[in-house]
């Protein structure tokens, strides 16, 4: 991994955006990666069809925390339809690092949480 990208990943890990609990969430989910033990809670605030806010918390590795930080920044203001279309390849590109196969699951955990949030919201 290139040093500049490693530094970018560590910056998101040390100072993640949107980490914490939301008091007025519209919907929330908990997702985990049983292979490594990562657990994240993600909350979404929706107004109409637009993601107004999204936050995450939990106990996770650097890749999962960094991916959660990048993802939550990327989807604020998007429509649910746009957010549902985001792929793990797009998220990894936003993260800006090359990942080993085992780390792709770590990076995709927050995306799985987001997709499950949207599904839960739409089925309520």
Q: pLDDT at position 74, please?
A: 96
Would you say residue 5 has pLDDT above 60?
no
Would you say residue 114 has pLDDT above 90?
yes
Q: Rounded mean pLDDT of 14-25?
A: 94
Q: Rounded mean pLDDT of 15-29?
A: 95
| Domain ranges across the chain | 3-123
Q: Where residue 100 falls among pLDDT bands split at 50, 70, 90? A: confident
With beta carbons less than 8 A apart as the criterion, state whether 79 and 55 touch.
no
Average pLDDT, the chain: 91
CATH number of this structure's domain 3-123: 3.90.1010.10
CA dihedral (72, 111, 30, 14) in degrees, to 10, reads -50
Helix (H, G, I), strand (E, B) or coil at 39: strand
Alpha helices in 1-124 (DSSP H): 3-14, 62-75, 80-84, 88-95, 101-123
């Amino acid at each position: 991994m290139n040093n500049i990208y490693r530094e970018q990943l560590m910056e998101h890990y040390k100072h993640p955006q949107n980490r914490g609990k939301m008091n007025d969430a519209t919907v929330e989910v908990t997702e985990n990666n049983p292979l490594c033990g990562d657990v994240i809670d993600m909350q979404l605030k929706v107004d109409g069809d637009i993601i107004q806010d999204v936050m995450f918390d939990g106990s996770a590795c650097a890749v999962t925390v960094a991916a959660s930080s990048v993802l939550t920044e990327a989807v604020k203001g998007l429509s649910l339809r746009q957010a549902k279309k985001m792929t793990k390849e797009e998220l990894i590109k936003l993260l800006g690092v090359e990942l080993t196969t085992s780390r792709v699951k770590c990076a995709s955990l927050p995306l799985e949480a987001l997709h499950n949030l949207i599904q839960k919201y739409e089925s309520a």
